[in-house]
């Protein structure tokens, strides 16, 4: 067998007391939402980042939005996974849709669910929609980072076969061959790198004063990083490769890239008109 790094056998269950079971996967969502809430409040509370008029919302608005965000992430993520990745299975066993603790969440579904939640909340509170999405977009990276680490702990969503020195053999892999630890690649790109780039846009270039630009940058950058990660990630077994050798993750990410680029261009072009 090729040289590999031993897979760290971390129990997916963090705490089990009688019928109460807390898994790393669930904890990742809870902590990700909490850190995202904290960071969004810091962005909103810093008037320097938003230009002369300041933020068009208050930290209290972010407090109230957390419930909307949690529902959007969980419902959207699960519905997206059911529809995009494993519809035949859930059509045959519909009760399994509610077994969230077994895993199976789609970022793209959670992304759409969160967008819907932000639109509804912004309309109810009379907050500019793009200002709210700009505040939330950088905050999502915490959940992305922790979620990918949880995927790694679960030994799921592992990478393609490889002979790189840091390859691992994942316990759930039926072939038991060295593979890319693609979950860690995604945690790095979608979490740390994406957060760092968005922080430069918000704090150095003050792009929160240009509504929709940060949201567009998030969509374009995430989509790009996800497509790159898919080059190393093993496709879902129930789907495999699509025509042309692409994966479902690539197919769903490409519209994000195009939409994000278009949104950034629109944000840049509308600013002079708004000022006039």
Phi, psi of 167 (to 5 degrees): -65, 155
| 148-161 pLDDT tens trace | 999 999 999 999 99
In a 10 Å sphere around its CB, with 0-12 CB exposed, 13-18 middle and 19+ buried, how is residue 203 labelled?
A: middle
Q: Tell me what the mean pLDDT of segment 162-179 comes to.
A: 95
Query: Of 203 and 18, which is predicted with more confidence?
Result: 203
Asked if residues 74 and 100 have their Cβ atoms less than 8 Å apart, the reply is yes
Q: Residue 266: CB partners within 8 Å, gap ≥ 6?
A: 212, 216
Query: Of 180 and 88, which is predicted with more confidence?
Result: 180
| 120-142 pLDDT tens trace | 999 999 999 999 999 999 999 99
The DSSP annotation for 202-258 comes to IIIS-GGGSTTHHHHHHHHHHHHHHHHHHTTBPPPTTT-PPGGG--HHHHHHHHHHH
Q: Can you tell me the distance from the alpha carbon of 114 to that of 16, in angstroms, rounded to the nearest whole number?
A: 31
Which of 190, 194, 153, 191 lies closest to 172 in space, CA to CA? Answer: 153
In this prediction, residue 2 carries a pLDDT of 54
Q: Can you tell me the distance from the alpha carbon of 17 to that of 89, in angstroms, rounded to the nearest whole number?
A: 31
| Neighbouring-strand partners of residue 233 | 159
Percent of the chain as helix, strand, coil, to the nearest 5: 70, 5, 25
The DSSP annotation for 165-204 comes to TT-B--TT-TT---B--HHHHHIIIIIIIHHHHHHIIIII
Output DSSP code: residue 34.
H
In this prediction, residue 56 carries a pLDDT of 95
pTM, two decimal places: 0.88
Which of 44, 47, 34, 42 lies closest to 73 in space, CA to CA? Answer: 34
In this prediction, residue 3 carries a pLDDT of 61
Of 53-57, 61-65, 77-81, 252-256, minimum mean pLDDT range: 77-81
In this prediction, residue 19 carries a pLDDT of 77
Which of 250, 234, 246, 249 lies closest to 177 in space, CA to CA? Answer: 234
Alpha carbon distances (Å) from 76 to 109, 123, 152: 5, 19, 22
- Residue 105 sits at the vertex; the CA angle it makes with 99 and 111, to the nearest 5 degrees, is 135
Place of tokens 């003050």: 206
Q: Is the pLDDT of residue 211 over 50?
A: yes
| 235-273 pLDDT tens trace | 988 889 999 999 999 999 999 999 999 999 999 998 544
Query: Of 177 and 77, which is predicted with more confidence?
Result: 177
- Residue 156's SS3 state is coil
């Amino acid at each position: 067998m090729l040289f590999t790094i031993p897979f760290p056998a971390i129990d997916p269950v963090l705490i089990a007391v009688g019928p109460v079971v807390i898994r790393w996967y669930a904890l990742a969502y809870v902590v990700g939402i909490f850190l995202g809430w904290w960071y969004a409040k810091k962005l909103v509370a810093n008037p320097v980042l938003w230009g002369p008029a300041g933020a068009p919302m208050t930290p209290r608005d972010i407090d109230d939005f957390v419930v909307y965000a949690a529902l959007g992430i969980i419902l959207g993520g699960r519905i997206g996974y059911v529809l995009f990745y494993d519809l035949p299975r859930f059509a045959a066993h519909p009760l399994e849709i509610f077994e969230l603790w077994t895993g199976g969440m789609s970022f793209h579904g959670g992304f759409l669910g969160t967008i819907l939640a932000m639109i509804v909340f912004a309309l109810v509170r009379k907050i500019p929609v793009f200002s709210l999405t700009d505040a939330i977009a950088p905050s999502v990276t915490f959940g992305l980072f922790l979620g990918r680490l949880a995927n790694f702990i679960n030994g799921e969503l592992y990478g393609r076969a490889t002979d790189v020195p840091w390859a691992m053999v994942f316990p759930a892999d039926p072939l038991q061959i060295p593979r890319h630890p693609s979950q860690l690649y995604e945690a790095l790109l979608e979490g740390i790198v994406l957060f760092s780039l968005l922080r430069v846009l918000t704090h150095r270039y003050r792009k929160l004063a240009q509504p929709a630009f940060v949201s567009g940058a998030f969509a374009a950058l995430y989509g790009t990083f996800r497509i790159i990660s898919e080059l190393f990630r093993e496709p879902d077994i129930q789907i495999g490769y699509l025509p042309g050798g692409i994966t479902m993750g690539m197919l769903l990410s490409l519209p994000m890239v195009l939409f994000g680029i278009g949104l950034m261009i629109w944000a840049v072009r509308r600013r002079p008109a708004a000022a006039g």
